[in-house]
Amino acid sequence: MTSVRFGAAAALLLSVSAVGVAVAALMATLRDDRGDRGRVINTLVSVEAATDAVLFPLDNLYIVRDGSGDVHALYVYPPGFFGHVRGCRVVWDGAAPATADPAATPGIFIDPCSGARFARDGALLGGPADRGLDYFELLPGVDGVIVDTRKLYCGAAGIAGATPTATPQRSPCDRVHPDY
């Protein structure tokens, strides 16, 4: 009698485990097709003293302070065909001069695939890109900043310092990879 009860209990336990594994496998394969992928990051990085860009590789962004003291959260993929198709990521060069002015804060982002160069604030300095780096919204946090990676915004069109032809619009951009 004991072996029958033990066998029934083991069969019940195995069947419940199988259902649990099946549900977990189903949930892992379902895609979330909402447009708000990403997350809210509360970073404790002290951006007050940061002189270089801080890379967050899991979230595909840099946090950097520009020469005027404003903080920016910039997407690591350059805009346009080259960066999106090839999967290139911009790299930070903290020693490169952004302008010919020696008093300007050094540091630029470089697209290694196309050669485009971007200022600390993500503005296009030169190269084949059609706009500046795309960016995420920043909110003030208690010990740092809060980055909302759920929505990506397009960088400003045109070369930095050029006369704008229209008022810049804050428009959503598509991500390179839908899961990031």
The answer to whether position 82 is within a domain reads yes
**Do 10 and 76 belong together in one domain?**
no
**Integer Cα distance of 145 and 44 in angstroms:** 7
**Do 101 and 126 belong together in one domain?**
yes
Q: In the prediction, which pLDDT does 36 show?
A: 47
The answer to whether position 121 is within a domain reads yes
The answer to whether position 168 is within a domain reads no
Q: Which domain holds residue 82?
A: 40-153
**Do 62 and 12 belong together in one domain?**
no
3-state SS class at 132:
coil
Where are the extended beta strands (E) located within the chain? 40-43, 54-56, 61-65, 71-75, 91-93, 108-110, 117-118, 124-126, 135-140, 145-153
**Do 57 and 130 belong together in one domain?**
yes
**Do 49 and 8 belong together in one domain?**
no
3-state SS class at 5:
helix
Q: Is 99 exposed, middle or buried (0-12, 13-18, 19+ CB in 10 A)?
A: middle
The answer to whether position 126 is within a domain reads yes
pLDDT in tens, the chain (180 residues): 667 777 777 777 777 666 665 555 544 444 344 444 556 666 655 555 557 888 888 888 999 888 788 889 999 998 875 556 667 899 999 888 877 777 777 889 999 888 899 999 999 999 888 899 999 988 877 777 788 888 889 998 877 665 454 445 667 777 665 544
The answer to whether position 166 is within a domain reads no
**Do 55 and 99 belong together in one domain?**
yes
- What pTM was estimated for this model as a whole? 0.68
The answer to whether position 164 is within a domain reads no
**Do 55 and 140 belong together in one domain?**
yes
**Do 121 and 46 belong together in one domain?**
yes
**Integer Cα distance of 112 and 164 in angstroms:** 27
**Do 121 and 89 belong together in one domain?**
yes
The answer to whether position 2 is within a domain reads yes
The answer to whether position 85 is within a domain reads yes
State both tokens at 67.
């020469």
**Do 26 and 112 belong together in one domain?**
no
State both tokens at 144.
């740092």
**Do 44 and 119 belong together in one domain?**
yes
Q: In the prediction, which pLDDT does 118 show?
A: 93
Number of domains in the chain: 2
List the CATH number of the domain containing 128: 2.102.10.10
**Do 17 and 48 belong together in one domain?**
no
Q: Residue 178: left (phi > 0), alpha (psi -120 to 50), or beta?
A: alpha
Q: In the prediction, which pLDDT does 105 show?
A: 78
Q: In the prediction, which pLDDT does 62 show?
A: 92
